[in-house]
Amino acid sequence: MALGALMAANAGTAAAVTTWWYSGGPHGSGAAATFREQGDRLEVCDVNTDGYRALMDVQTAAGAHVYRVTDSYNDSQCTVVSAADGRYNIAEKRSYKLWVCVIKSGQRRSYCKTSATFYNDY
């Protein structure tokens, strides 16, 4: 259900939602993530209640780590952070990509996917 809501949220303008990405894992597990330029809003969602959680890394286009956001839930809910939190300000006029994975407690992250590079100009 969260994935459907996430895709519906992407129906806005290109400036409203720069990118979203999905990573599938075993037995229907998966992670979805979005970045919205306005307010530097990052959202990462676990898409199935299965013991896995979602993890998103924001990286520069060159691969340097910027932020990590781990979904606090394992039940198709989402964790949202933004520049309004005072911690997640994504610099403008630069290119980035999202790296989205699933992770199970006590294990390494797995089933990672990297988004296409996007430009934050808002």
Average pLDDT of the residues in 5-13: 39
CB 45 within 8 A of CB 55: no
Report, as an integer, the average pLDDT of 90-103.
Answer: 92
* CA-to-CA dists, residue 72 to 5, 33, 69, 77, 100, angstroms: 18, 13, 9, 9, 15
pLDDT at position 4 is 41
Helices and strands per DSSP (H, E), number in the chain: 1, 9
Cα 19 to Cα 9, 50, 117, distances in angstroms: 11, 26, 9
Cα-trace Rg, the chain: 13
Burial of 84 (0-12, 13-18, 19+ CB in 10 A): exposed
What's the pLDDT score for residue 76? 76
Per-residue pLDDT, 18 = 61
| CA gap 38, 24 in Å, rounded | 27
pLDDT digits (tens, 9 = 90+) for 31-63: 999 999 989 999 999 988 888 889 999 999 999
Q: Which of 1-15, 68-82, 86-100 has the lowest mean pLDDT?
A: 1-15
Q: Give 107 or 122, the one with higher predicted confidence.
A: 107
What's the rounded mean pLDDT across residues 98-111? 89
**58-80 tens-digit pLDDT:** 999 999 999 999 998 877 789 99
Q: Give the C-alpha separation, 97 to 42, whole Å.
A: 12
Q: Which pLDDT does position 93 carry in this prediction?
A: 93
- Using pLDDT thresholds of 50, 70 and 90, give the confidence band for residue 8: very low
Backbone angles phi, psi at 81, to 5 degrees: -135, 160
Which residue type sits at 65? H
